[in-house]
Structure 1
Amino acid sequence: MPRPRVHDLDAALDTAERLAVEGGPSAVTLRAVAAAMEMSNGAIYHAFGSRGGLVGRAWLRAAHRFLELQQQSVEHALERGPVDAVVAAADTPAVFAEKFPQSSRLLLTVRRDELLGSDVPENVADELARLDSVLVDLFVRLAHVLWGRRDGRAVEVIEACVVGLPTGLLLRARRKPDDAMRRRLEVAVRAVLTLDPPPPGKHHDSTTKGS
């Protein structure tokens, strides 16, 4: 059986995203993706090995897109200052929704554990775990450039700015973030960062934090 071409694989991931967003996790099967693409079931199976391999790769692609965009935004904003870098990290979901609307809907509206199930290949699971650590590393880095601290309590403040506030102000609205929503988010992040984090606790350590 001929190996699917690279653009076919990318189109398969696009299709998996669309099915998950429109029909929920149960709508994503190898057969459904093959039918939507007018490809054989065997070609999709040959490319991804299992449903878990397919949806895992779709999730990873979306997550890589998000994290790369966030990293780029942070690097550019750091030239202006650390507070601007935290604001840029927090604003990434809005930028991501504009640039990759379907990938954004996949990450933000479909629970990862519901989509992936229990048949995720080991190599995909390992890569997903590494992606989680990338986000934590960003929190630690931002805490250090802001306050010279890497402890858990400082990292928690950054996490609240980069995850908690965007979730509450942008994502729960369930519509495309507009300028007013993004401005409110920026004001909220800047307000939080006017206060120093609580003193480090005896048992707090940034290496134990999860995203």
Structure 2
Amino acid sequence: MARPPRYDTSLLLDAAVRLAAEGGPAAVTMAAVAKAVGAPSGSVYHRFPSRSALMAEVWLRTVERFQEGYVAVLTASGDPGQAAVAASRHVVAWSRTHREETALLLHGPEAFGRGAWSPEQAERADAGNRRLFGRIAALAAELGARHPAQTERVALALVDLPLALVRRHVRGGGLLPAHAEQLAADSTALLLSDL
């Protein structure tokens, strides 16, 4: 029976997340990941044939984890207003408990070499985004958005507003204040109150 690999993919991706959170995407190199886990560089190349493949996978795993929880919150309530407020709150709560991943995501996929990803990796990213923004569009319709300005208001309330709150604190190196979830929820509810 073959023994399990000592340096599995999750361990390597966890190290890449830490490196990106501390030093930005440029800090994520094959050698740096290997050093972070005490592995020979061959262990990293065995799982990721190139730095581009590594960068894609660290981005995709992180964004997919966020999107999974976010979409679950968007679909959990039968009341679209409650779902919208819960989604805004979720962005802040997830960011609070996943500080390194949040710091990574705030760089955006382009900083992780999106243009050099394989077609399969690019399609994974696109499929996740289609699912997420499709659900937001459906929620906007459920909320009564009929015009582009109303749909834009829903996107602002569910995406831009909570991200701006998170970005200001995370990029500044500080902690999210205790009232951040409530502030996001209240602001979202207010923006959507006249749809």
TM-score normalised to structure 1 length: 0.80
| 4+ runs deviating over 6 angstroms | none
Correspondence for 2:129: 132
Residues 31-86 of structure 1: CA deviation (Å, up to 9, x unaligned): 2111222222222112111111111111111111111111222233x14x211100
Correspondence for 2:153: 157
SS in 2 for 1:170: helix
Backbone CA RMSD of aligned residues: 2.3
Structure 1 residues 117 and 142, CA, compared in 2 at 3 Å: closer, same or farther?
Answer: closer
Correspondence for 1:111: 108
Counterparts of 2:83 and 2:104 in 1: how far apart (Å)?
A: 25
Correspondence for 2:93: 95
Structure 1 residues 74 and 122, CA, compared in 2 at 3 Å: closer, same or farther?
Answer: same
Correspondence for 2:180: 181
Correspondence for 2:49: 49
TM-score normalised to structure 2 length: 0.86
Structure 1 residues 194 and 90, CA, compared in 2 at 3 Å: closer, same or farther?
Answer: same
31-40 or 3-12, which deviates more:
3-12
Q: Is residue 157–residue 188 contact of structure 2 (8 Å, CA) maintained in 1?
A: yes
For structure 1, the 5+ residue unaligned runs are 197-211
Counterparts of 2:152 and 2:137 in 1: how far apart (Å)?
A: 9
| Overall identity of the aligned pairs, in % | 28
Cα shift at 1:163? 1.4
